[in-house]
Amino acid sequence: MDFDLSEELEALQTSVRRLAQDKVKPRARAIDKDGTYPQDLFEAFRDAGLLGLCLPTEYGGSGAGILGLAIAIEEVAKYSNSAALMLLLTRLPTGPVMIAGTEAQKARYLPGIADGSLRAAFGLSEPQAGSDVMGMRTKGVPEGGTGTGTGSGAGSGWILNGTKCWMSGVREADWYTVFAKTSGDPASRSHDSITAFIVEREWEGVEMGRTDHKMGVKGVDTGELLLNDVHVPAENVIGEVGGFRLAMLGLNAMRPIVAARGIGLAEGALMYATEYVQQRAAFGKTIADFQGIQWEIAKCAVDIEAARLLTYRSAVMADRGQYTKEFVPYLSMAKYHATEMAVRASSLAVQLLGAAGYMEDHPTEQWYRDAKQLTIVEGTSQVQLDLIARGVLDRDLWWD
């Protein structure tokens, strides 16, 4: 067991830390206020080679893996969770392609992500189907088929119809990983009824729907993707027809990356609040001199380090390909703990600054708003708890 980062990962951490301090920190408040996409930061990440961190070298990436991406995201999220989301989006939609895509799909869609010439987004959720993925209504029908078969006869392709919602980065994306029911029966809850497709933005019938007005993580829009009789060639099916498992594998491997957004945010918030209480005078001392405050800082520091260990371990597991069912509790635990901890840490930071923390003069109120989405996205805290409990009940997580 080795708790140290490799030399390469340490160098990555140092360089991203500097970039985050120089470029992300000064922009974070303006991004939150304007809500406009920070193209300048996207280009800074591209120039620093960060867009290809999790992509294999043969497709233009640097092969730093999920751990490398998590480390970079942790640094960026100290200042801006929107900027961290831009990095996350290099993995969320590309994950299924990397796990189950064909060589042709990888060659066509991945290098552009690494060099910044293409962006992608991930469409699983629908207005009536968030946690309950099987409730999706987006339908894929074999071209020329009746839509009542098994889907295996889609020689020339598929026709997709439906609405995906809350999709992060929907407006900037050039292509989408989209999931649809392909079994013919929209009410089917069978796991082989869902299939993943790559859909290009420019194709006929692909349209943007509403853009959401969000509480936080502004600048990278979430919104609807409308699919109206979109023709998808057969070669753009990712993995097997009926591959619901692929959606889950993709999300399992993402847990450490979402967790990293939480630990970075918490670290940024605690450091900021600590500096503040060390300066702020009250009762002839500084606020930091009070033991009650010191203990809150200490508890938050313990929380952060516990979350970091869970996150790094889960990232190493995911990089080893350990994101199948038996590893789920460890991955879910990192996401659950790090994101809930981020909410607690950002709340503490607001509290430690008092009224100042509630005002827009300080970034604490932004961290507080941004943190909350982390316990909802990519599997809510309740969903993670279900998965962890299932792991214990099934003895995937057992200490004997």
Ligand X SMILES: Cc1cc2nc3c(=O)[nH]c(=O)nc-3n(C[C@H](O)[C@H](O)[C@H](O)COP(=O)(O)OP(=O)(O)OC[C@H]3O[C@@H](n4cnc5c(N)ncnc54)[C@H](O)[C@@H]3O)c2cc1C
Question: At its nearest, how many Å lie between ligand X and the CB of residue 237?
Answer: 18
* Contact pick of 264, 378, 387, 388 for ligand X (by CB under 6 A): 378
| Smallest distance from ligand X to CB 301, Å | 28
Answer yes or no whether residue 162 interacts with ligand X by CB under 6 A. no
140 binds ligand X (CB under 6 A): no
Contact between 52 and 90 under an 8 Å Cβ cutoff? The reply is: yes
* Of the residues 382, 392, 393, 394, which one makes contact with ligand X according to CB under 6 A: 382
166 is a contact residue toward ligand X (CB under 6 A): yes
Asked whether the beta carbons of 65 and 255 are under 8 A apart, the reply is: no
Contact 106, 47 (CB under 8 A): no
Instruction: List Cβ neighbours of 83 (8 Å cut-off, separation of 6 or more).
Output: 20, 24, 27, 28, 31, 38, 41, 45, 76, 77, 219
Burial (CB < 10 A; 0-12, 13-18, 19+), residue 1, is exposed
In the complex, minimum distance from the CB of residue 222 to ligand X, in angstroms, rounded to a whole number: 4
Burial 252-285 (b: 16+ CB within 10 A, else e): bbbbbbbbbbbbbbbbbbbebbbebbeebeeeee
Residue of this chain nearest to ligand X (CB atom): 130
Supply the minimum distance, in Å, between the C-beta of residue 139 and ligand X. Answer: 17
Maximum Cα–Cα distance across the chain: 80
**One of 167, 258, 265, 317 touching ligand X (CB under 6 A):** 167
Binding ligand X (rule: CB under 6 A), the pick from 208, 380, 390, 396 is: 380
User: How far does Cα 264 stand from its chain's mean position?
Assistant: 13
Task: Tell me the closest approach of the beta carbon of residue 96 to ligand X, in angstroms.
Answer: 12
Which of 81, 105, 125, 182 binds ligand X (CB under 6 A)? It is: 125
Kind plus residue range of the DSSP H or E element containing 167: strand 158-168
Give CA–CA dist 200/387, Å, rounded: 33
DSSP character at residue 130 = S
Residue count at the site for ligand X (CB under 6 A)?
Answer: 22
Nearest distance in Å: CB 320, ligand X: 26
| 168 in contact with ligand X (CB under 6 A) | yes
Closer residue to ligand X, CB minimum distance, 106 or 390: 390
**Min. distance of Cβ 219 from ligand X in angstroms?**
12
Rounded-to-10 torsion of CA 104, 106, 112, 114: -150
**378 classed as catalytic:** yes
Residue from 377, 387, 388, 397 touching ligand X (CB under 6 A): that is 377
Binders in 221-240 for ligand X, by CB under 6 A:
222
Question: What would the two tokens of residue 174 be?
Answer: 């050039």
Which DSSP state fits 6? P
How many Å apart are CA 197 and CA 238, to the nearest integer? Answer: 5
31 binds ligand X (CB under 6 A): no
- Asked whether position 5 contacts ligand X by CB under 6 A, the answer is no
Smaller CB separation from ligand X, 58 or 132? 132
Of residues 64, 67, 217, 318, which one binds ligand X by CB under 6 A?
217
Give the residue with the Cβ less far from ligand X, 214 or 313.
214
From 138-146, 161-169, 273-281, 348-356, span contacting ligand X (CB under 6 A): 161-169
Q: Is 90 in the site for ligand X (CB under 6 A)?
A: no
CB of 189 to ligand X, least distance (A): 14
**SS3 call for 339:** helix
Query: Is residue 123 a contact point for ligand X (CB under 6 A)?
Result: yes
373 contacts ligand X (rule: CB under 6 A): yes
Cβ proximity of 131 and 248 under 8 Å = no
Residue 23 or 218 having the CB closest to ligand X = 218
List 130, 223, 256, 264, residue binding ligand X (CB under 6 A): 130
DSSP H or E run through 122 = strand 120-123
Distance CA 19, CA 299 (A): 29
Instruction: With beta carbons less than 8 A apart as the criterion, state whether 51 and 91 touch.
Output: no
Q: Give the DSSP H/E element, type plus range, for residue 292.
A: helix 291-319
Q: Which stretch binds ligand X (CB under 6 A): 228-236, 290-298, 342-350, 382-390?
A: 382-390
Q: Which residues are known catalytic residues?
A: 378
Binding site for ligand X (CB under 6 A): 121-125, 130-132, 166-168, 214, 217, 222, 373, 376-378, 380, 382-383, 386
